[in-house]
């Protein structure tokens, strides 16, 4: 891949320069949606002119999409002027969604168990006990839109206790179809007299926050499980904008949870770790140095090639590589697809039949769930590949020490 690396790095460096110019121009680093809205008032005319139709053609399938540009900040604030958004739980989504909605000028409060890790983190982020930070029960009582962002296991274990507090007129919101879809396991059955909606950001809550601060937006899916008021979809879309979504596509609770659990157990996290490790170990077993094995497996992927896929697609990335690399990639891609497809079929079935749900509920329902997860993640951190990664990252010219 040496010659391809050089050409890909040249391409990447061109793109980086363009991206840097754009970022400087936009100066969005600390922009709230209000700053962004001002910027968009200039560009919206062009965007709306080209995107007036909200049913778009995705490779032959027509889908409805919702865009932030339809919700200028003043309209958003007016829409929620009588509402209190009560975010229950302050993990990564609580952090990202809560701070974004607060920065968008909405009335937001947080509900978490007192004196836990989340309580501490919420105070660090400026939520004030007794003003905007409460116990779970008190926050639900004060809220009109109850945003259940507890861990999926905690949504189940707390449900019998909190469901009577979700009274008529309130709205129940989730960021995952998990609890409602797997009701036989979770026992989460929403009250019949409330709207039940979902906005599921397609990324970590940390990314929800950083994209918002950069004036960008996360892609999210949006769904309605129960529409009592006739306004459930509109409300879901508005909340999606409030928490920092750029555009939203429609789904159902069931499709959201099936695709989400498959994705994170697949290409988004588990499969990529599996593939990285497999290739790294083969290179090491054949006498390649750690530095070479890591660069040919991870560093070149994340620093050079994958950003090109994000920018313009797979063919663009292939094309940015040498003809030698292109020939090999074209020959081997179908072999990897054929080999891995049965694994994905097995994974999807395990999601659909609830096996994955039951494992998550059991594991994350333990009192020691944080320590237990941390222990297994430490084992990954200590794998040779990722220890080597720390050294390689430290050699980047723009390196800042990790903590």
Ligand X SMILES: NC(=O)c1ccc[n+]([C@@H]2O[C@H](COP(=O)([O-])OP(=O)(O)OC[C@H]3O[C@@H](n4cnc5c(N)ncnc54)[C@H](OP(=O)(O)O)[C@@H]3O)[C@@H](O)[C@H]2O)c1
The binding site for substrate comprises: 322
Interaction site with ligand X (CB under 6 A): 89-94, 112-113, 116-118, 149-152, 154, 157-158, 175-176, 178, 200-201, 204-205
Q: Give the residue with the Cβ less far from ligand X, 12 or 208.
A: 208
Nearest CB to ligand X, comparing residues 371 and 379: 371
- For the stretch 294-299, contacts whose Cβ atoms lie closer than 8 Å and that sit 24 or more positions apart, written own/partner, are 294/385, 294/388, 294/389, 294/392, 295/392, 296/1, 297/385, 298/385, 298/389, 298/392, 299/389, 299/392
User: Vertex 208, ends 400 and 116: CA angle to 5°?
Assistant: 85
Minimum CB–partner distance for residue 86 and ligand X (Å): 13
Closer by beta carbon to ligand X, 201 or else 217:
201
Residue 344's φ and ψ, nearest 5 degrees, are: -65, -35
C-alpha dihedral, 237 to 146 to 351 to 269, nearest 10°: 70
Interatomic CA distance for residues 108 and 367, integer angstroms: 28
The answer to whether 111 and 138 are in contact (CB under 8 A) is yes
In the block, residue with structure tokens 């391809």: 4
Minimum gap (Å) between residue 64 Cβ and ligand X: 21
Q: Among candidates 295, 337, 247, which has minimal Cα distance to 65? A: 247
- In the complex, least distance from residue 242 CB atom to ligand X, rounded to whole angstroms: 16
The answer to whether residue 176 is catalytic is yes
Task: Give the residue numbers of the binding site for Mg(2+).
Answer: 260, 264, 296, 300
CB of 139 to ligand X, least distance (A): 12
Whether the Cβ atoms of residue 142 and residue 109 lie closer than 8 Å to each other: yes
Q: DSSP secondary-structure letter at 129?
A: B
Residue number, 126 or 313, with CB nearest to ligand X: 126
Tokens representing 172 are 């129940």
State the Cα–Cα distance between residues 208 and 400, nearest whole angstrom: 23
In the complex with ligand X, which residue's Cβ is closer, 175 or 226?
Answer: 175
Are 311 and 15 a contacting pair, CB within 8 Å?
A: yes
**Of 18, 15, 24, the residue nearest 215 (C-alpha):** 24
Active site (catalytic) residues: 176
């Amino acid at each position: 891949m040496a010659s391809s690396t050089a050409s890909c790095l040249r391409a990447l460096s061109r793109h980086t320069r363009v991206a840097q110019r754009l970022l400087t121009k936009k100066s969005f680093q600390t922009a709230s949606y209000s700053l962004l809205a001002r910027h968009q008032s200039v560009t919206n005319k062009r965007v709306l002119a080209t995107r007036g139709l909200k049913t778009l053609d995705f490779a032959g399938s027509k889908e409805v999409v919702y865009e932030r540009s339809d919700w200028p900040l003043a309209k958003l604030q007016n829409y929620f002027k009588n509402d209190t958004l009560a975010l229950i739980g302050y993990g990564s989504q609580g952090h990202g969604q809560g701070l974004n909605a607060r920065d968008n000028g909405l009335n937001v409060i947080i509900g978490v168990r007192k004196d836990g890790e989340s309580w501490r983190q919420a105070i660090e982020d400026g939520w004030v006990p007794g003003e905007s930070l409460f116990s779970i029960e008190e926050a639900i009582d004060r809220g009109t839109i109850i945003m259940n962002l507890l861990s999926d296991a905690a949504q189940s274990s707390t449900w019998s206790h909190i469901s009577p507090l979700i009274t008529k007129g309130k709205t129940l919101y989730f960021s995952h179809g998990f609890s409602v879809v797997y009701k036989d396991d979770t026992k989460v059955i929403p009250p019949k007299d409330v709207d039940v909606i979902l906005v599921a950001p397609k990324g970590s809550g940390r990314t929800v926050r950083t994209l918002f601060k950069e004036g960008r937006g996360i892609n999210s899916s949006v769904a309605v499980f129960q529409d009592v008021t006739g306004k459930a979809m509109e409300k879901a879309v508005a909340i999606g904008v409030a928490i920092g979504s750029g555009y939203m596509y429609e789904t159902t609770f069931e499709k959201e949870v099936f695709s989400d659990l498959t994705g994170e157990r697949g290409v988004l996290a588990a499969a990529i770790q599996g593939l990285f490790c497999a290739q790294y170990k083969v290179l090491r077993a054949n006498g390649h140095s750690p530095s070479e094995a890591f660069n040919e497996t991870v560093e070149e992927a994340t620093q050079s090639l994958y950003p090109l896929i994000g920018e313009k697609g797979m063919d663009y990335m292939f094309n940015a590589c040498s003809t030698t690399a292109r020939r090999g990639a074209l020959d081997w891609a179908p072999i990897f697809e054929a080999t891995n497809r049965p694994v994905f079929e097995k994974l999807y079935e395990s999601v659909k039949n609830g096996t994955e749900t039951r494992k998550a509920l059991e594991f994350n329902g333990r009192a020691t769930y944080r320590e237990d997860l941390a222990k297994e993640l430490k084992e990954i951190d200590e794998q040779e590949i990722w220890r080597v990664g720390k050294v390689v990252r430290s050699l980047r010219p723009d390196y800042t020490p990790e903590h």
